[in-house]
Structure 1
Amino acid sequence: MPVSFTAIDFETANRSLASACALGVVRVQDGQVVDTRYSLLRPPPGHDAFEPGNIRIHGIRPADVQNAPTFETAWGWVCRTITPQDPDAVLVAHNAVFDTGVVKAANNACGGAARAWDYACTLRLSRAAYTLRSYALPSASRAAGAEVQDHHNALSDALACAGIVRDLARRSGADSMAELAAHYGVRMQRGEL
């Protein structure tokens, strides 16, 4: 299963997608985890109010991010580290519409430059591959044998997402994310993020 990709997960401070307050990144090359990163983030000004409901979900409070890097700094590291030519330049996320929406909104709030990324959604892949009562990350990762350890911790969630893709690659024998997605009848996406 020599599939390469980068799993990402964001947590947000409030209902604004621009309010990224944590980022988890897991790079997988040829089926092996080669790098993991976790960072708390200072949400962009105007999107930096923490709502009690979000705090209840992930436990991150305003004081926790006071000295954290900005979204722009953390996402800039991702863009510099993972070039379009890298084998792991395909992003994956569970419910990718949320995480790619965070990148777009936070980039826009920071005035950052968008970049074209190919990406896939493990929620969609899980629905195509597994028969489950729920396709939420805890259930899907459990089915993959990579159960999320600390749900709503961005790194833990990114590791669980990566575990789903690795399981699906093993099951399908796919050699690439495009081949894996095609095997399960799920379309890869491309967007300016």
Structure 2
Amino acid sequence: AHVLRHEYLYDIKALIGRGSFSQVVRVEHRATQQPYAIKMIETKYREGREVCESELRVLRRVRHANIIQLVEVFETQERVYMVMELATGGELFDRFIAKGSFTERYATRVLQMVLDGVRYLHALGITHRDLKPENLLYYHTGTDSKIIITDFGLASARKKGDDCLMKTICGTPEYILSGRVLA
């Protein structure tokens, strides 16, 4: 992680998301005008630190077309700043609500992209553990946009030789039924 402060390199343009211990802002690199997203995670709280460590453990290892890409990381005493590629097409959830339904052909295309990303993660011993339409983003607003898997705060990265049985119940409460995680 860089000690150099992110403020010197990026201009903050807008707040685009908020979580329990984090905020996501759209930024522009001052030298190149390239847009990025910065996820700012409060690490002064234990839960925020754990989410941050989990996410970084995964994002530092992955490089796949359907998984959000980490560009660089900055750290201060109370926060970690994760600079990531910017997906501008919105959540799968919102697009589904706006359209009302997807054709079978379109739904198959979306599912194929998600499964390609999941297959890649599983080959690395990584389980997302919070897959839901809100964590699947469109890369751009066009109908031909690829899908990007995001939010690895609950991910489990298994090390070689580890027991592959996961015993922790986790996920988003609305997507958990009878103590079983849907995906």
Bin for the TM-score computed over the shorter chain: under 0.3
Structure that is richer in helix per residue: 1
Structure that is richer in strand per residue: 2
Q: Which has the higher contact order (CA 8 A, sep 6+)?
A: 1
